[in-house]
Structure 1
Amino acid sequence: MPISGDIEKKKITTAHGRYYLLRISAQRRKKIFIIQNVRRIKGIRTTPIKIEKAHITKKEALAILIGTQIGAGVLGLPYAASKVGLILAIGVLLGVTLLMMGTALIVLQFSAKMKGAQMSTMSQVILGRTGGILMYISISLMSFGALLAYISGMGSVISSLLKINETLGALLFWVLASIIVYKGIEASGKTELILSYIMLALFILVTIMLLPYVKLENGLYFESSGILSILGVSIFALGSHTIIPDIYKSLGSYKETKRVVILGFVIPATIYATFMSTFLLTFGKDTPQIATQGLEELYGKIGWIVGNLIPLLAITTSYIGISLAQQSNTIEFLKLKKPLAWSLTVIPPALVYFAGVKNFADVLAFAGDTGDLMAFIVLPILMWIVSKIKKIR
């Protein structure tokens, strides 16, 4: 595809004609650059992806990762734990933490090799078109379940705060939050850092408030019938893999990002275990679906305020963050315009909620047992296995 000499060969003398041919030549050079820079990275065929470093600090990156995890999942863990007992719940949470941390590091490894590729893209590169589609569907299913749970949870919270019908509260939340999503407002690293400090302070406060009421016998029982519930909610609560490529691109260092990812699982898991245990040992099998709302029984008005402030912050930020991520994912992968991508993101879960599916904890378990399980555990492990086979060959 010859480029040099194009203008001379055409013998164009007018300024407009020379300008047109210069543009054609530039486009050809761009095509050649893309074709020539297709490369193989340890057996994985990929195209170059530009890294745009956002210059956030490691503390801000850690806050973003922790903020992505600590949302509605932590509020549903005590209720899920009440179905199995304390010992089995802690065992499942520990096992899921180690597994999810391992697959998160796999995602980081592949994203770094592909210069910051997103999960659907890396899945398509390694597993083919089918793998990319399967990853997109899994993440979409996870997002759908999460948003449905958030609408359900906030319906209960707003109903308690404003003394209105739960369905009306859910509608009010959905309208306001979805408008924010459409406008594309995203929290910066500094904002996430501040919110993380506030959330951490609130969790410590709640733990201190519950300690006088803790009774060991409330959690010392064993029931296996709720194993899928605690498993699903634990997977959901620790699912933050989709944000890892963005953190890597922002920090620009694999080693720094790896440290952030490890801490980003250890810290939330510790908070989850403490939060879950104190609520279960306080309320036992009567633990409410949104755990913090049980504080009102113990502390009246103060407990009511704290018990609704935590889910208000956690669920609202999680709804906006996951909706924005899924909206962008749909725009990029399906090549859709923003209004349609927004509609596909926020409308289906609202329709299902208003049709009558309103069980907060069970929806979290469903999302964890389906979309999160496939996107954050099965497919990353499959990508790792396939890449090893390609490397050996």
Structure 2
Amino acid sequence: MVFKRSRFSLLQGVALIVSGTLGAGVLGIPYAVAQVGVPLGIAYIVGLGLLIMGLNILLGYVSAGAGGTLQLAGLARRYLGEKGGYLMAGITYVMLSGVITVYIIGEGEILSALFGGPRFWWSLVFWAVAALFIFTGIRTVKTVEFVLSSLILAVVMALAAWSAPHVEWPNWGHFGLSHLLLPYGIILFAFHSTTSIPEAHSAFQGDTPAFSRAIQIASLTVILLYILFVLTVVGVTGAETAEIATIGLGRALGQPVHILGNLFAALSLATAFIMVAVSFRDSLRWDFRVPRLAASVLVAGVPVIIFALGARHFIAVLDVIGGVMVSLEMLIILLIVWRAHEAGDLPVSRPSFSRLIWLIAALVLALTLGAVYSIVVLFT
């Protein structure tokens, strides 16, 4: 067994999934929302958030029905065959390498804004410290993630309270339909948490009801957190919202908010880096039997090489990873769900599953349109 410890509590499971969701995406959401307007932006957040919650619950059912410790590539191999497993592995590993690279880019910008100095070197300092957790066990990660997730919630509440007197209501009324689809990839990226679902399932050790509750509570917590963050940042900075929201908020409101906002950003990226990297490592171990040390070195090494070779643009990388790679990964997950249902491995009755068809259809439509749009934008 990978998890040689007691079963997670509900609160620990929620913290694990929340920390696997929060990350670089939340820092880009206010910029994307500022381009289209707060009402439409919140509709994006709620709509995509609920759809991804549904997808995560379906993925949780698959993990429960499959048994054992499998990440996405292993589940794809079981239900889609050897070629399906390799396809999912290719998409997932390219995506996760890109995700971790985004965290390295963003953390460098944030630490540079806080302490001064070159962003490049701050990115490398962050990577050197955070990468140490890739080589530790899940027991250590569980404790670190719980503490950091609690700090994030506290910092967001403090940030919202401090910024509230400076909110200008007209900033919430702007509409900009010329960038109508811009938020799609960025917000989808911000809700991406599929790699943390099999990780959390393994930690719950077969307690499927508690696992499902943890997914729902974590998803709703993240939706509310994103809405609060958007209302705060866009309400203050309006059309001048920066690509990394906390940097622009700090410029607008002075040193205390500058420190508080960038502390939130730094914590968000740190928790996400650790959770995504550990999930990536465990996928290599569980699904392809890569030795622990070799898997850890690969997960730590490939993203920093991508960064060193020139990946530097935060929003551009965020949009491509979210709009293209995350959409493709989630479409394959839906196919896995369907095949698992046909194999009788979903703990859901046929009448219940027939009601889920509408959720699956909505996800397929949204993900396909979003992926096509992102690919068109990428090559135009």
Q: TM-score range by the shorter chain?
A: 0.7 to 0.9
User: What does residue 40 of structure 2 align with?
Assistant: 88
d(CA) in 2 for partners of 1:318, 1:76: 14
Q: Do the aligned partners of 1:150 and 1:319 also contact (CA within 8 Å) in 2? A: yes
* Aligned twin of 1:239: 192
CA distance in 2, matches of 1:140, 1:327: 10
Matched, 1:321 2:275: yes
Q: Distance in 1 between matches of 2:9 and 2:136?
A: 26
- Which residue of the partner structure matches residue 219 of structure 2? 265
Measure, in 2, the Cα distance between the counterparts of 1:256 and 1:343.
Answer: 33
Shift of 1:225: 4.4
Q: Tell me the residue number matched to 1:213.
A: 166
The aligned residue for residue 120 of structure 2 is: 167
Whole-Å separation in 2 of the counterparts to 1:159 and 1:99: 36
Instruction: Report 1:337-376 matches (<5 A).
Output: 337-375=291-329
One of 256, 262, 265 as aligned partner of 1:311: 265
Contact residue 149 and residue 360 of structure 1 kept, 8 A: yes
How many pairs align? 343
Give 1:183 deviation, angstroms.
5.2
CA distance in 2, matches of 1:104, 1:263: 12
Question: Is 1:194 aligned to 2:151, yes or no?
Answer: no
Structure with the higher helix share, 1 or 2: 2
Alignment-derived partner of residue 22 in structure 1: none
How far did 1:185 drift?
A: 7.4
Please tell me whether the aligned partners of residues 155 and 171 of structure 1 are also in contact (alpha carbons under 8 angstroms): yes
Conserved 8 A contact 2:19-2:275: no
Identity %: 26
Change (3 A) 1:313 1:329: same
Q: Which amino acid is 2:124 matched to? A: L
Aligned positions of 1:86-235 closer than 5 A? 86-116=38-68, 117-182=70-135, 187-235=140-188
Q: 1:297 to 1:341 in 2, by over 3 A?
A: same
Q: In 2 relative to 1, CA 315–267 (structure 1 residues): closer, same or farther, beyond 3 Å?
A: same
CA distance in structure 2 between the partners assigned to 1:65 and 1:161 by the alignment:
28
Spell out structure 1 runs of 4+ moving beyond 6 A.
Answer: 49-53
**Aligned residue among 69, 74, 77 for 2:21:** 69
Shift of 1:299: 3.6
Kindly indicate whether the alpha-carbon contact (under 8 Å) linking 2:71 and 2:282 is maintained by their aligned counterparts in 1: no
Aligned to 1:58: 10
Q: Which runs of 5 or more residues in structure 1 are unaligned? A: 1-48
1:325, 1:364 → 2: CA distance? Answer: 19
Structure 2 runs not aligned, ≥5 long: 345-349, 351-380
Partner-residue secondary structure (3-state), 2:145: helix
Cα–Cα, structure 1 residues 192 and 335, in superposed 2: closer, same or farther, change >3 Å? Answer: closer
1:198-243, CA deviations, whole angstroms, 9 ceiling, x for partnerless residues? 2111101111122122223223233344444411121121122222
